[in-house]
Structure 1
Amino acid sequence: MGNVILIIGIVVFILLLFGTFFMVRQQTSAIVERFGRFVSVRNSGLQLKIPLIDRVAGRINLRVQQLDVIVETKTKDDVFVKLKVSVQFKVIAENVYNAFYKLEYPHDQITSYIFDVVRAEVPKLRLDYVFERKDDIANAVKKELNEAMTRYGYDIINTLITDIDPDQQVKNAMNRINASEREKTAAEFEAEAQRIKIVAKARAEAESKRLQGQGIADQRREIARGLEESVNVLNNVGINSQEASALIVVTQHYDTLQSLGEETNSNLILLPNSPQAGSDMLNNMVASFTASNMIGEQMKKDKTDTKKNDKN
């Protein structure tokens, strides 16, 4: 009988011991109630309570938590879009009582406010502006949540719009528009590059023609200077200008024949090309120059006679 009482006493002692001490983990607060009424908030470490009278009603997590909410709504241009809103929040250590007793389902409350704000802000914007002003939407959600959740002991640390997902058909259309814009830009650049090439080529050709013309002019100037010197040399040895000019032409004729003979692939035929062609050409040219001089002298004489008659 004594052993039974001893065992019962040990069991009761153990139960009282475990009912008296309890552990609270780091970044956690415990709510202690006595007969269903709030007594105190206990923080991390080994804590005491009155066994069978006090009880741990619940524990509150003080770490930063994140809630992801997907909201489907419609933009101003009637495009349905899904927004993923990520809210980072935590319980204020000094307001554990309010967080535990005033709000039973904080996640549901936060989700309701997110839906309310997003569905009030997004319909004011076109789809393109939703992407551009997502930070403004996030700030509006954070402001609304802070005003609503602070009285419940919750602090909204940050609110982010982490994803904007339009309808698949809308995304395909946007991709086609983007591709068309890029093709248009590429075509403009290609056209500009082609224009630059054409202008550069035209300038190069113009410069080439200018230089070619200048070269021909210089060549002809030098030929004329050479012919003048040749005529002067022939004049010095008693050959008059007509005979000198004819002689130079014949010389060039034979130089041409020599150059044609050196060119093996030439198909040019020079007519007439008889052995006496050079002599005939020289005689004809001398005769032509002589006749030309005689005609010129006769014209000058006639002109002088006319002037004298007019004076008389």
Structure 2
Amino acid sequence: MFLIRCNAFTFAQSMSAYGYKIVQTLIVDIEPDEHVKRAMNEINAAARMRVAANEKAEAEKILHIKRAEGEAESKYLSGLGVARQRQAIVDGLRDTVLGFSVNVPGTTAKDVMDMVLVTQYFDTMKEIGAASKSSAVFIPHGPGAVRDVATQIHDGLLQASSQH
């Protein structure tokens, strides 16, 4: 038997006085106490806030992951570009050495590399001087100093290769 309470007595009991026995009833509307309504609303709001916080955290996680993947791809492509640039420089230097050796008999690869290094030195000095807002760079600039720079670079490369 399903009972619906009405004030101090039950609906079923009140109807039994008239010979009715209520076995089942459809409840259409329940009107709980205002405190119960407020508590239920707070429970629902808290549950939604938890879900929203989890979704926000998940979205931030995805953003961080995508940003990191983008940076990794950018660094990879940048490294690939630097590697290709260095390979092009090496190929160009090799072609220069071979071409110069063929056209000027008796020159060695070291002579050609020293000449290329001096040319790059003067190109660098020219660019520094041409830039209107460049900082002053004081480098020994006599012909002997260029030879010293070439020797220092050569010795540094030899030391680096001997350590490996």
**Equivalent position to 2:99, from 227, 233, 240:** 233
- Change over 3 Å in CA distance of 1:109–1:252 after alignment to 2: same
Identical columns (%): 33
Given the two structures, how large is their TM-score scaled by the length of structure 2?
0.72
TM-aligned CA distance change 1:226 to 1:189, over 3 Å: same
User: Which residue of the partner structure matches residue 158 of structure 2?
Assistant: none
Pick aligned residue for 1:252 from 120, 126, 131: 120
3-state DSSP of counterpart to 2:73? helix
Greater share of strand: 1
Q: CA deviation at 1:257?
A: 1.6
Q: Secondary structure at the match of 1:267?
A: coil
Which string of whole-angstrom CA distances, capped at 9 and with x for unpartnered residues, describes residues 51-93 of structure 1?
Answer: xxxxxxxxxxxxxxxxxxx8448xxxxxxxxxxx9xxxxxxxx
2:24 alignment partner, one of 140, 155, 175: 140
Give unmatched runs, 5+ long, in structure 1: 1-69, 74-84, 86-107, 118-138, 142-159, 293-312
**CA apart distance, 1:165:** 1.3
Higher helix residue share? 2
1:263 deviates by 2.5
Within a 5 Å distance, the mapping from 1:117-266 to structure 2 comes to 140-141=24-25, 160-236=26-102, 237-238=104-105, 239-266=107-134
Question: Is the 1:234–1:244 Cα contact (8 Å) retained in structure 2?
Answer: yes
Kept in 2: contact 1:231–1:241 (CA 8 A): yes
CA distance in 1, matches of 2:136, 2:49: 56
8 Å Cα contact 1:246-1:282 kept in structure 2: no
User: Partner amino acid for 1:173?
Assistant: A
1:111–1:213 distance in 2 versus 1, CA, 3 Å: farther
Q: RMSD over aligned Cα, in angstroms?
A: 3.1
Structure 1 195/179 Cα, relative in aligned 2: closer, same or farther at 3 Å? same
Q: Which runs of 5+ in 2 are unaligned?
A: 156-164
Per the TM alignment, residue 231 of structure 1 is displaced from its structure 2 partner at its CA by: 1.3
Aligned to 2:160: none
Change (3 A) 1:204 1:285: closer
Q: Give the drift of 1:284.
A: 3.7
Letter in 2 for 1:204: G
Residue 137 of structure 2 corresponds to: 269
Q: For 2:139, what is the secondary structure of its paired residue?
A: coil
Matched AA of 2:121: H
The answer for the alignment partner of 1:101 in structure 2 is none
Contact 1:231 1:245 in 2 (8 A): yes
